[in-house]
Amino acid sequence: MRLLGNARRTLPALILLVLAGGLAACSDDPATQPKRSGADDPVPRVVQDADAALDGVLHRIADELGLTWATGNRFYNLCGESYAPGGVVMDTLFRFDSSDVLTLEQGIEKIRALLEEDGWTVKKPVANPDSVILRATKGVLDLHLELAGGLLQGHLGSDCIETSDDVAREWADKPDAELDWS
Amino acid sequence: MTLVNVPVHVPPCPVLESEPAAAQDLATDLRAAAIAVKNVQGWASSIAAPAWLGDTADAHDHAATRFAARLDGAEAAFDRAVTAADAFGERLVRLTARRTRLMTRQAEVNAAIDVLINEVAAATDDSRLAEFQRRSDDLAARADRLRIRIDGWLTDVTDAETDLVAALRGVDSVAEGADAAAATDRPDTGELARRLRSLGGDPVAVGAWWRRLSRAEQEAVTTEHPELVGAAGGIPVSDRDEANRGELAHQLDHLGQREEDGQLTGAEKDVLRNAKAVDDGLDRYAGQLDPSTRTHLAELIAFHPELHSGDGGVAVSFGDPDTADHVSVNVPGLTTDTTGLAGNLDKTHGLHEAALAEGRGSVASVYWGDYDAPSGNPLNPLDPLGQLDFDSVALTDKAEAGGDRLGGFVDGIRGSDQGAPAHLTVIGHSYGSTTVGHALADGLPADDAVLLGSPGVPAATAGQLTDAEVWVGSKDHDPVSLLGDGDRGGLGTLGHDPADAAFGGTRFATGDGELRAEALLANHTSYFKGSSLTNMAHVVAGEDDDVDRQPGRGAEGGDHLTLPELLVASSAASAGHGLAEAGEWFWDHSRLGGIL
């Protein structure tokens, strides 16, 4: 063990302390506005976009491919560390089962076409031994789909949505939500 | 025109009502009950009335013995039930794979039938009659064979369910439990546990021994000593997951009851808090399945809620490291404890998806938070100067001890690896990179190492550190990454800056991060996104040529600010903005503010 003198031991910590103490906040930076009002909270808009994707293009994909909703949930995580969250990440995970005949090639091409029709930027699908992966983006949303025989599962998420720390913690403290499919 | 008898479509394979993941959950619940019964049975067997004499002592011993004997029957019954549920789950995995193959074949045959129907309908004369008839006969034969295979599959599904029901019914009475307890082939869990302990530290030997055991023996020792099986490197990760999930469910049940009764000790409160965090973390991903087996995607490889000064230890994998082509192990740093599992799993899951999207084979992505990382709040003015845990971030002792544990863990999953050895990447962030550095220096068997936002590693060059390929993600505006010694000097408290060109690692593009003072910490905590994440995914999937590189510090094009220069420049960048808001930000982020 490298045992150092007291000053040297605490120096890195002190530097971080200086960093924090020296913070001169940027007035338009959400991370510097701890008491931001609910009306300025950008997260609901992202949630709205995610719901629109679920209700819209994902429903069309399910209908087109004859998929049955299996499960889905949504949760929020802090972007950074708990002492400096800076914002929140929204995650929606879901899974469909397929009782119908569905080949990977046919399925992925249909999904790709439906996403592009809905305004998503779709990357070229890639194949692994057990599944095919398709990724797409639209606005702040990222979509990751994995298609295997009789299974489509995915992740609809956002990059860090910058908010005040208080707002970020409020979202991160929300209980995870089960998603309905209707 | 002459008629051609085209075969009808093959009907779809019915949906499997019993899913492998649900069978896993059933087995976990039974296992948790078995663990609880065994704990009580062990207690009942051991109690005595040492200070008593005469009839009272005899009565007590008699009652305790009868009680223990009854519980022994329940214990044996549970072991059989768990074994049956586990076997059922494995059969479902195989049946699911068969169904996928049958569905694929069915799609091919039906598509060929459709093509033939269309061609026959489009024909205007009999010139292709012979060809149509031959193709039709071939398709009819293929369709018949496929129907037989589907029928066989259905029979096997029914058999699997029947066998499970029969096994459970065979141990659902006191008498049957007593019979199971008295059976001559009942596993000797004491001897099995002794053997496992004696092999500890040799994953290859443990793996070989484990494979020789019967399923009943494996299940019996798992429910008797879940903590031992769950932590034993060399045992297949799926079996360790079963043991750890069983222990987790048992702890939640046992300590949850004690909490309700107001009997929790301080240490038990920590254990319950950590167990709940792990349960919540696994719940989030419970709906995501391994595409090849339809079992839960997330596997609990290590579960030590009582360790590390109450912080707990945990390791969770997305995907099965034993079968994956590419395995990554992600080691967190400062402030890591089990209550922060959710955020760390989110990052690891993000890397898992990015690595899968490389299309270079199957992937398993492990989050390993099973060492005593420095905890605390670096923005807490009471922390660095006091005696709280964060003080130790400036020391290497926890990194050394953590590196030792990490080495044991990686040896363990190497020992249970199946088929060709997986391509293994170990990733360390912040203090976790120092921990990884110590593990590498001790010979960690990794192919690639990724050091993110590193405050230092214990060698001056990559070659001195390890034989693995060393990759470095280091934002120039991440102050922690400037702490290591090297070009233009850092403090060097934790070792050498791996981003230094002289170190000889390969630095990949991460972006510099924002210069404003209030963004510096965000720079340090944002490596699992953007170009940094993309480059890590390339490394994890073995796509080295796709990695976007940037010059090391001190190399041409690798100019950078020193730590004091960064502090001054970032303050200047933030100048002109409201000091009051800065004060409010700091107040909001410090525990002092919370206290007052």
Q: Of B182, B197, B232, which residue constitutes the final position of a domain?
A: B182
A160 and B397 in contact by Cβ < 8 A? no
Residues B320 and B176 both lie in one domain = no
> Among B150, B182, B214, where does a domain finish?
B182
Per-residue pLDDT tens digits for B476-503 = 999 999 999 987 778 888 999 999 999 9
Q: Residue B474, Cα to own-chain centre: how many angstroms? A: 26
The confidence score (pLDDT) of residue B390 equals: 52
Contact B442, B407 (CB under 8 A): yes
Helix axes A6-21 and B563-574, enclosed angle (nearest 10): 20
Q: Under an 8 A CB cutoff, do A77 and B342 touch?
A: yes
- Structure tokens belonging to residue B304: 């030590």
Q: Which of A59-63, A121-125, B438-442, B556-560 has the lowest mean pLDDT?
A: B556-560
CB proximity B11 to A under 8 Å: no
Q: Is B396 on the interface with A (CB under 8 A)?
A: yes
Residue B246 lies in a domain: no
Q: Does residue B38 fall inside a structural domain?
A: yes
Answer whether residue B522 is part of any domain: yes
Whether residues B178 and B324 fall in one domain: no
User: How many structural domains is chain B composed of?
Assistant: 2
- Residues of chain A contacting residue B483, judged by C-beta atoms under 8 Å apart: 12, 15
* pLDDT tier for residue A19 given thresholds of 50, 70 and 90: very low
Q: Which of A6, A14, A16, A27 to mutate to test the interface with B (most CBs of B within 10 A)?
A: A16
Is ipTM strictly over 0.90?
no
Measuring CA to CA, which residue among A8, A73, A30, A133 is closest to residue B483?
A8
Helices in B285-420 by DSSP H: which ranges? 341-356, 397-415
The helix/strand count (H/E) of chain B reads as 19, 8
Sheet of strand B448-452, all strands in order from the earlier edge strand to the far edge: B298-304, B313-318, B363-369, B326-331, B423-429, B448-452, B469-473, B506-508
Best probe of the A interface among B353, B457, B566, by most A CBs < 10 A, is B353
B5 within some domain: no
Mean pLDDT by 10 residues, chain B (596 residues): 85 87 94 90 68 72 73 91 96 93 90 95 91 96 97 96 96 92 94 95 95 96 96 97 96 95 95 98 97 95 95 97 98 90 96 98 97 70 44 77 97 96 97 97 98 96 98 96 86 93 97 87 91 98 97 92 88 63 46 32
Residue A155, pLDDT score: 98
Residues of A in contact with B511 (CB under 8 A): none
pLDDT tens-place string over residues B240-263: 999 999 999 999 999 999 999 999
Range(s) of the domain holding residue B433: 311-585
Domain annotation covers residue B204: no
Residues 482-501 of B with CB under 8 A from A: 483, 491, 493-494
- Residues B390/B322, Cβ–Cβ less than 8 Å: no
Q: What are phi and psi of A80, to 5 degrees?
A: -105, -145
Strand-pair partners of A133: A126, A146
| pLDDT at A128 (0 to 100) | 92
List, in sequence order, the alpha helices (H) in B213-337.
215-224, 226-230, 237-260, 266-284
Confirm whether B223 is domain-assigned. Answer: no
Residue ranges of domains in chain A, CATH in brackets: 29-178 (3.30.2030)
The whole-angstrom distance between B507's CA and the closest CA on chain A is 23
Half-sphere exposure of B355 (CA within 13 A, CB side): 31
Residue contact B522–A13, C-beta within 8 A: no
How far is residue B506's CA from residue A144's CA, in Å, rounded to a whole number?
A: 29
Q: Do B300 and B314 touch, CB atoms closer than 8 A?
A: yes
Tens of pLDDT, residues B448-463 = 999 999 999 999 999 9
Query: Taking the model in full, what pTM does it have?
Result: 0.89
CB pair distance less than 8 Å for B385 and A18: no
CA distance B371 to B180: 41
* CATH for B330: 3.40.50.1820
The label of the residue with tokens 């019996």 reads: B220
DSSP B488-508: T----SS-B-TTBGGG--EEE
CB pairs under 8 A between A and B: 246
Contact B311, B292 (CB under 8 A): no
Q: Select from B182, B204, B225 the last residue of a domain.
A: B182
B136: part of which helix (H) or strand (E)? helix B129-169
Does any domain span residue B216? no
Q: What is the mean pLDDT of residues A48-57?
A: 96
